[in-house]
Structure 1
Amino acid sequence: MITAAVVGAAGYLGGELLRILLGHPAVRVVRATSERLAGRRVDGAHPNLRGHTGLTFRPMSELDHYDVLFLASRHRETMRVLPGLLGHADVVVDLSGDFRLADPELYHRHYGVEHTAPGLLGTFTTGLPERYRDRLRTADRISVPGCMATAGVLALAPLAEAGLVEGEVAVDARTGSSGSGASAGPENLHAERSGAFRVFAPLGHRHEAEIAQETGLAVRMTATGVEAVRGVQVLCRVRLAEGVAESTVRAAYRDRYRDEPFVRVVAERRGLYRLPEPKILAGSNFCDVGFAVDGPGGEGLLVAALDNLVKGGAGNAMQCVNIRFGLPETDGLEFAGLHPS
């Protein structure tokens, strides 16, 4: 049995990690930390876990040693605590943004603060199985990409790798309110969020840097908050190389993702769900990708959708850990989503 602990377990992402871990056939959750809720029951913060665990939140000072330690703490905070936590586990999986970018200057530009552990940047394997599966088999430090970055990279990668895209890419991302976390500010009160389509990052969202780093493309990104709790959808507008037709794009996607257990190509000509739709992915670890093409060598619209807390976070982390410990990649991640929801 793999022993696991979750740091920052009181938030939405921590709760999703616990939900997945508690249902995993080869994992035993030993510790869930929260400084604010220390001593209180885990199922008080995560009522969906009632009857599934008797754990109580404990402070980080009570951490022991585990096979795997998941960090679901906040951006800018994780880099301060992580150096002191590395000795508490054989494998450390970080779900914050603090170790996703290899360049400390790039981190400063997108997060607004100096990195306090720059020597650790570049020591983490990117937690994206579709690109780094072989490295993940032996990785002891894993950094899970951001939710919108994961969707953007999976949408763009097949065409970028095949040299089918030219020039700058425009990424339009939409996300539900859970992406702001359980302790989000007044801008995420129901009275302010309900009915709104808020462009909260008109230019330069931090996931822009992740997508550019992973694909090698010039990327410009806009992010909008929409009236949904879960879900991310990204629309990537690209200029296709000369002579590239829809059939070439479809073949690139099918060839790239044919053997991937959690990426599905969705580009239908009829039906309600012709292109990727986050509504039907809630709770699942799938990322659906699709496309529309405006003639050979014209414009392409690449679309991806996922649940921001699962394939965009906790599920992706679990998939990486399955690979790292030689387990079936789909263990604990079999839920197919809901329809209708």
Structure 2
Amino acid sequence: MIQVGIIGGAGYTAGELIRLLLQHPKAAINFVYSTSNAGNKIANVHQDLVGSTDLTFTNEINTSVDVLFLCLGHGHSKQFLETHPFSNHTKIIDLGNDFRLEADSTFQGKEFVYGLPEFQKEAIQQASYIANPGCFATAIQLALLPLANAGLLQEDVHINAVTGATGAGTSLSATTHYTWRDNNFSYYKPFTHQHLGEINQTLHTLQNSFDNDVWFMPNRGNFSRGIYATLYTHFEGTLEEATQLYTEYYKEAVFTHVTEQELHLKQVVNTNKCLLHVHKHGNKLLITSVIDNLLKGASGQAIQNMNLMFGFQEDNGLQLKATYF
């Protein structure tokens, strides 16, 4: 059993990590660090874990754990690692955005690898440090990887995607209060969302000639979890050719699947799956991509990366059924 440490244990992503790790056949939680909750039972904060664990939060750190998950706010992982060194054998998976871009991927001699398994599985298997992708970035990149890999992104890409309330984290703000979110819908950060950086980085890695724009409109939905993304771009081939392109690209993917059925969120919520559907209209290809933002978009993908790094079966701890009804 590998020993696992979690830094920043009170948020949604940490709660999902703990839930998954408690059932993982190859991993054991060594500590969950939280300065604001030290001494408090984890199940008092993550109340879905009542009866599942007697672990408590701690303000003490074991610097020799086998793997460390950083569940800190964006921009805080570097600051934490600067003041809390870990052993050379400790593998690190950062769920924030500190190391996702190539310009930020080297830190204190550590080389962080971008952790999207469907993009670079072999690099992840050899890595000691992983930058876990963003939730929107995961859904959008999985919708575009087959086109970029084949050099078929020829014009602008237009994206409209909706995320649930958990995408905003646990801290209250004007747009996360129930009375505002319920029966409501809005966009935010139009065309400037921070995940565009990692999306464009991956697309250019696969298709260096791609010099068009990715137009991204993120939206807030009045549901708790999930991302529903629709993307369209120019495509000269037939629907059958597009379906074959996507099916072939993901033929060995454990969690990403192409289906002929139109998609909805209940198919993926509470799973580490990404489901994709393609539709042709004239010379436009419409791709629909759905994920659970807290699992494939965060904690589930982090566990998937851990499994790859340690040579475990890729779906260990992630054999989950969707909350369909």
- TM-score band, normalised by shorter chain: over 0.9
Q: Distance in 1 between matches of 2:150 and 2:125?
A: 25
Shift of 1:122: 8.5
Q: How does 1:167-246 map to 2 (within 5 A)?
A: 167-216=155-204, 217=210, 218-240=213-235, 243-246=236-239
Which position in structure 2 is the counterpart of 1:95? 95
Contact 1:101–1:121 (Cα < 8 Å) also in 2: no
Shift of 1:120: 5.6
Which position in structure 2 is the counterpart of 1:259? 252
Q: Distance in 2 between matches of 1:120 and 1:286?
A: 34
Shift of 1:183: 1.2
CA 1:171–1:121 in 2, change beyond 3 Å: closer, same or farther?
farther
Shift of 1:118: 6.9
Contact 2:63–2:85 (Cα < 8 Å) also in 1: no
Contact 2:106–2:112 (Cα < 8 Å) also in 1: no
Letter in 1 for 2:215: R
The SS at the match of 1:167 is coil
Q: Deviations over 1:100-151 (max 9, x none)?
A: 11236xxxxxxxxxxxx97469921111111111111121100110011001
Shift of 1:317: 0.6
- Whether 1:288 and 2:288 are equivalent positions in the alignment is no
Which position in structure 1 is the counterpart of 2:207? none
Shift of 1:96: 0.5
Q: Deviations over 1:177-207 (max 9, x none)?
A: 0011111323210011111111012221011
Letter in 2 for 1:128: L
Greater per-residue helix proportion: 1
Q: Distance in 2 between matches of 1:175 and 1:122?
A: 32
Q: Distance in 1 between matches of 2:164 and 2:192?
A: 19
Q: How does 1:73-112 map to 2 (within 5 A)?
A: 73-88=72-87, 90-103=90-103
Which position in structure 1 is the counterpart of 2:315? 330
Contact 1:138–1:324 (Cα < 8 Å) also in 2: yes
- Whether 1:54 and 2:41 are equivalent positions in the alignment is no
Contact 1:169–1:238 (Cα < 8 Å) also in 2: yes
Query: Which TM-score applies when normalising by structure 1?
Result: 0.89
The SS at the match of 2:167 is helix
Q: Distance in 1 between matches of 2:34 and 2:238?
A: 52
Shift of 1:42: 0.4
The SS at the match of 1:315 is helix
Which position in structure 1 is the counterpart of 2:131? 143
Letter in 1 for 2:80: V
- Whether 1:42 and 2:27 are equivalent positions in the alignment is no
Q: Distance in 2 between matches of 1:85 and 1:325?
A: 23
Contact 2:161–2:230 (Cα < 8 Å) also in 1: yes
The SS at the match of 1:319 is helix
Letter in 1 for 2:65: Y
Shift of 1:279: 2.2
Letter in 2 for 1:249: A
The SS at the match of 2:324 is coil
Which position in structure 2 is the counterpart of 1:159? 147
| Between 305-314 and 95-104, the greater mean CA deviation after superposition | 95-104
The SS at the match of 1:186 is coil
Q: Distance in 1 between matches of 2:110 and 2:29?
A: 28
Q: Deviations over 1:10-31 (max 9, x none)?
A: 1000000000001001111010
Letter in 2 for 1:159: L
5+ residue gaps, structure 2: 205-209
